[in-house]
Amino acid sequence: MPVGIFGTSISATWLAAALGKKVSFFVDEDSNRIGRSYMSCPVYAPKDAPKDFALLIPLRTDIANAVAQRLTQFKLQCIIPIL
C-alpha cells in the first residue's frame, strides 16, 4: 500500500529508505521544500497532500501527536508511532 511521509528530516529519510517504492510523496511545512521533489517523490504542502493515503509521521510520539493534531484541518490520515 503506498504511503506518504511527513517531513524531509533524517527520520523521514531513514523511513523512506526502509520502505522503498511504497513511498509516493512527502508532506512538509517548509516553503523551501514544497513543490520540489525529495528522493524522487513530490513534496506537498499539508493542504495539497493526497487524502487517500496514510501519512506516516516519523517523529517522537509526543511530537508526532502535536503534528497530527495540527494537520487535522487538512483531513489527512496520520499514522503516529507508538513507543
* pLDDT more than 90, % of the chain: 94
Neighbours of 38 (CB within 10 A): 18
**Is 49 a domain residue?**
yes
**Is 42 a domain residue?**
yes
Q: In the prediction, which pLDDT does 27 show?
A: 98
**Is 2 a domain residue?**
no
Model-level pTM?
0.94
**Is 1 a domain residue?**
no
Domain that holds residue 57: 7-79
Render pLDDT for 33-64 as a digit per residue (tens, 0 to 9): 999 999 999 999 999 999 999 999 999 999 99
Distance set, CA 36 to CA 70, 72, 76, 79 (Å): 22, 24, 20, 23
Count: domains in the chain: 1
> Domain of 65: which CATH number?
3.40.50
